[in-house]
Amino acid sequence: MHFGPREIVTPFRPIPLEVPEGMAPNEFFNSTENLNDLAHNNGLLKNPEDLLLYRKALGHSNEFDTSIIYNTSNSILDPLGRPVRRTQVPENVKKVWNRMNQVIIDYMFEKYPDPDEALLLAGEASLDATWPLTSPGVPSIRMLHNHFIAFDKQQLRKAEFADPHNPNLTDGGQHSLFQSYMRDVYSDFFSALDFNILEQTSKSSSRIELTGYPQGLPSWKIQDGVDALKNIYFWQEYDQVLMGFIDFYRAFFTQVSTRNAPVPEGSYFPEQVESILLFNNCFMATAKKVREQCVTDAKYANAIRWQPAFKQLIYRNDEGDLIVTISQNSIGNAITELLGVVVKREPDAEAYEKAEPALIEKLLEVRDRLVRADLGDAIETPYWSA
């Protein structure tokens, strides 16, 4: 069998929603009006912490696909002021979110026990709030939300190979500035963080053989697998991965912006930033290279994302282990592409309706588990009852 990134076709039912004249679609999708429509037509469950579980109307997979969004559309009307990463979420909300994650991932493993049968993933794709709303590829909903997706591996095996030069297949091995020029110091920085449940793993054990992805990203095995997700200390380590990434990202682009800048204010691990990053010649030389190109190349400088943008994943590898990884984000790419899965969405109501009953059945099953765990109240829509 040949291995490489795959492109699958996922049909969807066209959304009967009109964007007001004069607005860009992604401007409208960030509005309170659109979020109200999302909850009314696709909402599954909501809770007092403003977490909304919903069906993905434009999904990645019709096997299993749902999301939780921290719906601050009514409480924070400024789209650029809404939380876009886990570190910005109030502690009481994050605890509930972590429990919801645990219940849904546990359900996915129960429903798809064989790693040869299904590719399972869960995680957040976060964009920094300095992206103009009108930039191409900016997400349709600028609020922190995560994904829970199952792909049928048989469908992936039969799928066409994706173009390996597709810029959306952004990962550490191909396009990431960090991995291309600072691989050793990047690895050393993460190795200095203190983990007990997460165990740094090799590239071969983290890679999905069918696609060959992810490539070159730091990754950790979750010791004790799904059971570890019931442990609050796992989620603290999961956040620590993100905090380490944010520190690295901010330290690097602060150096790009200002030569010989000090440790960024508010760093989570200031000692490691000082001793490992700011005293590393490779790190500083790469910042110099990027800074000099910014000065002479306006288009390149405009493409720089000065604040942290990332994708953080929990997924199942070929051996059935749970793996955590994190990647620098690029505009336009999808969270599935971190694992080498390119999704081509096509409007086809008839094809979608064939898959819909089985999909909705699973979504309502997992909703019932969340309700029983006191994680929210069921929502009634035109497609299902409460």
Is 21 in a helix, a strand, or coil? Answer: coil
DSSP state of 213: B
Q: At residue 102, does pLDDT exceed 90?
A: yes
The predicted structure's pLDDT at residue 54: 95
Please give the share of the chain, as a percent, with pLDDT higher than 70: 92
d(CA 212, CA 303): 28
| Average pLDDT rounded to a whole number, residues 43-71 | 94
The pLDDT-based confidence of 173 (bands split at 50, 70, 90) is low
Tens-place pLDDT, residues 295-352 = 999 988 877 878 887 889 999 999 999 999 998 876 556 789 889 999 999 999 999 9
Looking at residue 258, what is its pLDDT?
A: 97
Task: Using the predicted structure, report yes or no on whether residue 139 has a pLDDT greater than 80.
Answer: no
Pairing of strands 43-46, 64-70: unpaired
What value does the mean pLDDT take over residues 353-359? 96
Mind listing the pLDDT tens digit for each residue in 375-386?
999 999 988 998
Angle at Cα 94 formed by Cα 88 and Cα 98, nearest 5°? 135
pLDDT exceeding 90 applies to what percent of the chain? Answer: 64
Q: Is the pLDDT of residue 32 over 90?
A: no
Domain boundaries of the chain, sorted by first residue: 6-378
> Which of 130-144, 146-160, 291-305 is modeled with the greatest confidence?
146-160
Q: Stretch 255-263: mean pLDDT, rounded?
A: 97
Residue for token pair 């990047």: 186
CA angle 137, 149, 225 (to 5 degrees): 125
